[in-house]
Amino acid sequence: DQQVKQNSPSLSVQEGRISILNCDYTNSMFDYFLWYKKYPAEGPTFLISISSIKDKNEDGRFTVFLNKSAKHLSLHIVPSQPGDSAVYFCAARSGGSNYKLTFGKGTLLTVNP
């Protein structure tokens, strides 16, 4: 049962344009969401996060939007740069004492020069 879904395995955009990566979740107990970026043969690095009590969080070129009623979040990258080419993972935290993150399968973003 996949609780965090990234339905697009890949996305290709032109440099300077907007990249929009999507993530859906099914567990209503998730209260915090994170995006990680991963290059091949490296560990993921934290990118941006959002609490379930907010609907938007912005950090430079990166903005995450959360639609709780639709159980959907999206990551916007504007403008996209070739160095943004990587796999992006959406992750969600369920509240409680046993803290752990559930990850989606990832979306490979390719930004073409």
Partner 1 sequence: DGGITQSPKYLFRKEGQNVTLSCEQNLNHDAMYWYRQDPGQGLRLIYYSQIVNDFQKGDIAEGYSVSREKKESFPLTVTSAQKNPTAFYLCASRHQGAYGYTFGSGTRLTVV
Q: Please say which residue, 96 or 113, places its beta carbon nearer to partner 1.
A: 96
Q: Please say which residue, 15 or 56, places its beta carbon nearer to partner 1.
A: 56
Q: Does the protein bind partner 1 through residue 23 (CB under 8 A)? A: no
H helices of 1-113, in order, are: none
> Which structure tokens are listed for 83?
């160095």
Q: Please say which residue, 41 or 70, places its beta carbon nearer to partner 1.
A: 41
Q: Which of 68, 71, 76, 105 binds partner 1 (CB under 8 A)?
A: 105
Q: Which of 85, 89, 109, 111 binds partner 1 (CB under 8 A)?
A: 89
Task: Fill in the amino acid letter for 96.
Answer: G
CB count, 10 Å around CB of 92? Answer: 24
Residue 105's Cβ-side half-sphere holds a number of Cα atoms within 13 Å equal to 8
3-state secondary structure of 80: coil
> Which structure tokens are listed for 39?
């290059």
Q: Does the protein bind partner 1 through residue 103 (CB under 8 A)? A: yes
Query: Contact positions toward partner 1, by CB under 8 A?
Result: 6, 9, 32, 34, 36, 41-46, 49, 89, 91, 93, 97-106
